[in-house]
Amino acid sequence: MENQEPELKTVMVIGAHPDDPEFGCAATIAKWAAQGRMIDYVLLTSGDKGSHDPSLRPGQVAAMRESEQRAAAQELGVRSVLFLHYPDGMLENTMDLRRALANLIRQMKPDIVLAIDPWRRYQLHPDHRAAGEAALDAVWAAREWYIFPEQLVEHEPWRVREIYLYWTDNPDHWEDVGESIDRRIAALKRHNSQINGRIEQIAERIRKAAHEVGEPHGHEYAESFHRIKL
């Protein structure tokens, strides 16, 4: 009998801000959740700089965006949402952030990590670059015995099996999301502070892009990733 590949049931989605997963790959998240995979979000910031309303303070924006993110995740069937509260707009791939993410990976034991591709050409947002780099560095650190060994008092090293990088210029994997694209749009609608009444235009743009991604691969709608097997 041939050795069967182990079933990959747990997924950690790492983003820089609330709404990154929904703008990045939420139809895949909804599809996987419907298939029985357990999805957990880790958001490195609370998006406290994500407003142009001078009457709002960063703490108010953060509270609003965290609430919106939880509602969006619920639309998709996500199991949990965790915010690490690093400063929005000033995120850096520090050793402290790598340590925090490695600890979460060891604790939550995801089979798959979804993260932003930090090598996307002309990726201007520094938080997106930093979030992708930190996620990849933490995946590597989490599997090593002598990296952050103080964490091994409570947790064993953990080896993530696959990484899916979204917002990538080098896709090599396409997920058919024809049955879940509507749930992505419903989740995006929950980010009211960022959508600003533009959900119809955004939905049209998302459908158009997903169709263009999927059509060459025989799908009405698809989301693309660079997939790394470890």
Could you tell me the CA-to-CA distances from 22 to 6, 16, 85, 153, 223 in Å, in that order?
28, 12, 19, 35, 12
Tens-digit pLDDT profile for residues 163-180: 999 999 999 999 999 999
Global pTM? 0.95
Tens-digit pLDDT profile for residues 184-214: 999 999 999 999 889 999 999 999 999 999 9
Closest CA to 118 of 109, 108, 127: 127
